[in-house]
Structure 1
Amino acid sequence: MKILNAKVRKLAMAVAALPALWSAPALAITENQAFVLDVRETSIPIGHAQFCQSRPAECGQNNDLITYETLTQAKWDELLQVNAHWNRAVRPINDIDLYQTEEFWTYPRQYGDCEDYVLAKRRSLIERGWAPSTLLITVVKQANGEGHAVLTVRTDRGDLILDNQEGLIKVWSETNYTYIKRQSQQHQGRWMELADNREVILASR
C-alpha cells in the first residue's frame, strides 16, 4: 500500500506541474535555460554505435526535421503514460550482470539498464507520432560522478527529461545531472556535445 500511495503521489505531482508549463509563453530555444544548447559534434557512445550497426534504419538522417513538439494536453498525457509504463515494466540491471559486457544497448524485455529504458520510451513515442528529431538519447553525469542516460523530449515549453530513476518529468535545468552529450536532431546516428550553462546564467543575473 505504501508503494502504491507513493506512485499516486508522484503522478499527482507531475500533473500539478503541468499548469506551470502552460502559464509561460513558448520560449526561445537559444535564450532560455529551459533548453540545453548543442555546442559541436562529438563522439558517439560505443553502445549506441553498436546498436546502430545492428539497426541502421534507426540511426539515419532525420529528413523531416522538427525542432520541437508543441506540448498539448494530449501530448503531456502521452509522456506521463509512456514514462510510467516503462519505469514499471522493466526491472533495472546492469549490462555486466545481464549480458556479461560493459555496454550493450537494446530494447528491454523484462530487464535492462538506463539506455534500454530510453530506447523503449523513444520507440513508444515515435509509434505514437512524435518526431524522432525531438526525442534524443542523452548522456549525463550523476552527482556521484557515474554516467547515466535519459531521454530528452524537445517541446516548445522546454527540454523535458524522461528518466527511469525519477517518476516526475522535469525540465532539464531542474534535474541534478550534468549534461554531457546527446543525439543530433539532424542525424540519429550522430551526437552533439552539450553546454550545461545553468551556473553561468544564474551568475549573470
Structure 2
Amino acid sequence: MKISTTALLACVLASTGCSTTSGSISAMSTGGKTVLSTGTRMQMIGHAFAPPAFHDFCAREKRLCSTSGSQKLVELTNSRSAELASVNSSVNRRITESSDMATNGTDDDWRVPSRYGDCEDFAILKKAELMKLGWPASALLLTVARSGWDGHTVLTVRTSKGDLILDNRSSSVKDWSRTPYRYFARQALGVGKAWELIGSAEPVI
C-alpha cells in the first residue's frame, strides 16, 4: 500500500521517539578537527504540526522553546565552530541515552536532561548550552527527521556556512544534507511554537 507524504509526516511527528541504534554517519574531520565547509540551507515549504509532546515542553520551558530574535543565523568563525563541536561532544558524553519510558515512565516527554535522555532531550540540552555561550535562540531550531522507520530529533544550527546538525548519534557536526536522515519538520524562525515542513537543500550563496 502506498503511503502519502502527509500520512507519513503525521506518523513521524506523532512518534518522535528515538531508536537506540546508532546511525551510520561518516566523520567530517581532518586531523581530529571538525571541518565545516560551506554547505546548504533547508528550504521551508509550509506549515507543519508540532510533535505532540512539544506543547508540554513549551509550556514548561518557554525560553528554550523560543526562536525569537533578529539574528536568524550566526557567522561561523573558527571559535564558533569550536563551540559547536565542544557542546555537541560534551553533551553526548555526559548524557546516557535512555528511552522516555525508562527515564520518566512516559511514551514521549521532552525536557532538559540531567543524566539520562533520548534524542530530543540531547537536542534541547545542546540548545541550552549554546544559549549560555551567547548563541541566539533564533538560530537554534529543534528538528524532526526519520532514520529508517525510527523517528529522530536533532538540533539545527543556522550559520553563515549552512544549516548544521548537532546529533546525539555522532560527535561530528555536519551539514544537514550530508547526514543519513530524511528530514520532515523543524521549528519556525521567530515563532518557536510553530513548525514548518522541510523541502530540498538550497546552496549557501
TM-score, length-normalised on structure 2? Answer: 0.79
1:159 equivalent in structure 2: 163
- Separation of aligned partners in 1, 2:142 and 2:179: 16
1:29 equivalent in structure 2: none
Q: What do residues 83-133 of structure 1 show as CA deviations (whole Å, max 9, x unaligned)?
A: 010000000001111112111011111100001000000011011111111
2:124 equivalent in structure 1: 119
Query: Does the CA-based 8 Å contact 1:40-1:192 persist in structure 2?
Result: yes
TM-score, length-normalised on structure 1? Answer: 0.79
Aligned ranges for residues 1-205 of structure 1 at < 5 Å?
Answer: 15=33, 17-18=35-36, 21=37, 34-60=40-66, 62=68, 64-142=69-147, 144-195=148-199, 197=200
- Separation of aligned partners in 2, 1:100 and 1:150: 22
Query: Does the CA-based 8 Å contact 1:65-1:185 persist in structure 2?
Result: no
Q: Secondary structure at the match of 1:193?
A: strand
Consecutive unaligned residues in structure 2, runs of 5 or more: 1-26
Root-mean-square deviation (Å): 2.0
Q: Secondary structure at the match of 2:102?
A: helix
- Separation of aligned partners in 2, 1:14 and 1:157: 20
Q: Percent identity?
A: 32
- Separation of aligned partners in 2, 1:91 and 1:180: 26
Give the CA deviation at 1:67: 2.0
- Pair member with larger Rg: 1
Number of equivalences: 176
Considering Cα pairs closer than 8 Å and 6+ residues apart, tell me whether 1 or 2 has the greater RCO. 2
